Amino acid sequence: MAKVYLVGAGPGAPDLLTVRAARVLATATVVFHDALVHPETLALAKAARLVDVGKRAGRVSTEQRFINRALVEAAKANGGVVRLKGGDPMVFGRAQEEIDALEAAGIEVEIVPGITAALAASADLGVSLTRRGIARTVVLATARVGRDEDASGWIAAALAADTTFLYMAGAQAAAIAVALIGAGKPASTPVAIVESASLDAAQRWVGTLAGLSLEAPRMHGGPAILAVGEVFAHSRVAALLSPAVAA
């Protein structure tokens, strides 16, 4: 039976890949990868043809159909087909569309999980996402919504949760803070932004929703995740120990 491995590349640092993912890459014949996967991670696929299917702004739906079709065709022609996605494949990766297309074509899919950006940011900040008496619930969300999607769902989840991560938040950070304050989240709620989590180029900024609503920090244009919640008040400690943009 034809098979495709849907593999998480992790948050960025090549050694935050799982041992299983490294092994699958080593025997791959073709790897369809996202735009931001580290060159050292791609180099693990020694014998493979590499196909960059990273999405470009404004061409999302066309590209996804292309990816689905390319995966099916490759799996029918070869063994060792890998679809390599940043972070974990099942978190904001449109994995289900690829899984559904492959299964509809009679192709088996094996998922290899990866470290998602929220966990890498937590490690970078040195802050536990849960903490007895302070935080028992963690939300992973995004303020980016498709044309046909409800824009308010992420706000309700962020209000209900103790600790919230908003993926792909770089350009929208100030607008997110304004929306959360407007919905009733206290303006004094601590926030942290981690850009390029887990990489040497990582940038960290810590502050409050109020400060963020007035002016988002200038980062360096890498993928950024916004963390919101009382646990991040503590992040100042770790942030002071490492390169950080002052709040």
By CB under 8 A, name the binding residues for its own copies: 8, 10-11, 13-20, 22-23, 88-97, 99, 103, 109, 111-116, 119-120, 122-124, 126-133, 136-142, 145-146, 148-149, 153-154, 156-157, 159-162, 198, 231, 234, 237
What are residue 224's DSSP bridge partners? 195
Active site includes 88? no
What residues have CB less than 8 Å from 222, skipping those under 6 apart? 170, 195, 196, 199, 201, 203
Q: Please, which residue, 27 or 210, has the CB nearer to its own copies? A: 27
Question: What is the length of the chain?
Answer: 247
Distance of CA 15 to the CA centre of its chain: 17
Q: How far is the CB of 122 from its own copies (least distance, A)?
A: 4
Q: How far is the CB of 21 from its own copies (least distance, A)?
A: 9
Q: How far is the CB of 206 from its own copies (least distance, A)?
A: 16
Active site includes 55? yes
Active site includes 168? yes
Q: Please, which residue, 54 or 153, has the CB nearer to its own copies? A: 153
Q: How far is the CB of 103 from its own copies (least distance, A)?
A: 7
Neighbours of 147 (CB within 10 A): 5
Instruction: Please tell me which residue in 1, 46, 168, 185 is annotated as part of the active site.
Output: 168
d(CA 96, CA 88): 13
Instruction: Please tell me which residue in 1, 3, 34, 85 is annotated as part of the active site.
Output: 34
Q: Please, which residue, 133 or 218, has the CB nearer to its own copies? A: 133
What are residue 193's DSSP bridge partners? 205, 226
Distances (CA, A) of 27 to 21, 37, 108, 141, 159: 10, 18, 17, 34, 45
d(CA 137, CA 160): 9
- The catalytic site residues sit at 34, 55, 168
